[in-house]
Amino acid sequence: MRKAKFFGCLATVLLVSLTIVLALASASDVAQAQPLEDSEFEEWYDKTMNKIETDTINTAEAIENFDCTTCEVWARTGYEDATAALDELGGYEVSSEMQPVKNHLTLALENFKSGCQYIESGALQYDPDELETAAGYISSSLGHLEEIDALGLVPPTPIAALSRLQGDLEQAVQTLRSSKTPTTSPTPTPKAPGYEALFAVGGVLAVTYLLLRRTR
C-alpha cells in the first residue's frame, strides 16, 4: 500500500516537472522568435529609410534649384516608395517592445506619401496652397520619425532630410505668393487743356467779332 502511494506521488511529481519544463521550453522558443522577427524588420527598416532619405534629399534639391520637372519626378518616386513600404510593413510581425516603432513608422509613411502627392501637384501647377499642404504633411511625418528616434530601438531616421524639405517648401510658398501679389497701377492724372483748345476758342471769338462789325 505504501509502495503504491509512493509511486503515485512520484508520478505526480514527474508530471508536474514535465509540465514546467515544457512551459519553459515554449517560453524560450517565443523569446527566441521575437528577436528574429525584430531583426528581419530592422533590416527592412534600414533599406526603407535609405529610400525615403534619397527621395527627400533629391526633392529638396530640385525645389532649391527651381527645377519643377525634377521635383515632380522625385515627388512621384517618394509617393511610390512610401506606398510600397506601407504594403510591405503590414506583413511584419514584431515584438511588443518594437510595436511602437511600427506604429509611428506607419503614420510617418502615410504622411510622407500624402506630402509627396501635394508636392507633385503643387510643382506642376505652381500652386502655393498645394505646397503649403505638402509642408504640413511633411511636418507630421517628421514628428513621428522623431518619436521613433526617441525610442532608441532602431537606427536614426532621416529627420534632417525631412526638416530640410519642410523648410524648402515653406520658402517656396512665400516666394510664389509674393510673386502673385497684384501691383496697383497709378491713377492717371487728367491732362490740362492743351494749346489746341485755346486756339479753337480764340478762333471762335475772332469770327464772332468780325460778324458783329459787319452787322453794324
Instruction: Determine what percent of the chain is predicted with pLDDT higher than 70.
Output: 68
Q: What span, in angstroms and rounded, lies between the C-alpha atoms of 151 and 136?
A: 24
Burial classification of residue 100, based on how many CB atoms lie within 10 Å of its CB (0-12 exposed, 13-18 middle, 19 or more buried): middle
pLDDT value of residue 36? 79
Q: What span, in angstroms and rounded, lies between the C-alpha atoms of 24 and 134?
A: 52
Count other Cβ atoms within 10 Å, centred on residue 36.
Answer: 10
Mutual angle of helices 68-89 and 2-64, in 10-degree steps: 170
pLDDT value of residue 37? 85
- What does pTM read for this prediction? 0.70
pLDDT tens-digit readout, 47-75? 999 999 999 999 999 999 999 999 999 99
What average pLDDT does the segment 12-33 reach? 53
Band of residue 216 on the pLDDT scale cut at 50, 70, 90: low
Backbone φ/ψ region at 126: left (φ over 0), alpha (ψ -120 to 50), beta: left
Domains of the chain by range and CATH?
A: 37-179 (1.20.140)
pLDDT of residue 90 exceeding 60, the answer is yes
pLDDT of residue 12 exceeding 80, the answer is no
pLDDT tens-digit readout, 180-195? 765 555 555 555 555 5
pLDDT tens-digit readout, 146-175? 999 999 999 999 999 999 999 999 999 999
pLDDT value of residue 180? 72
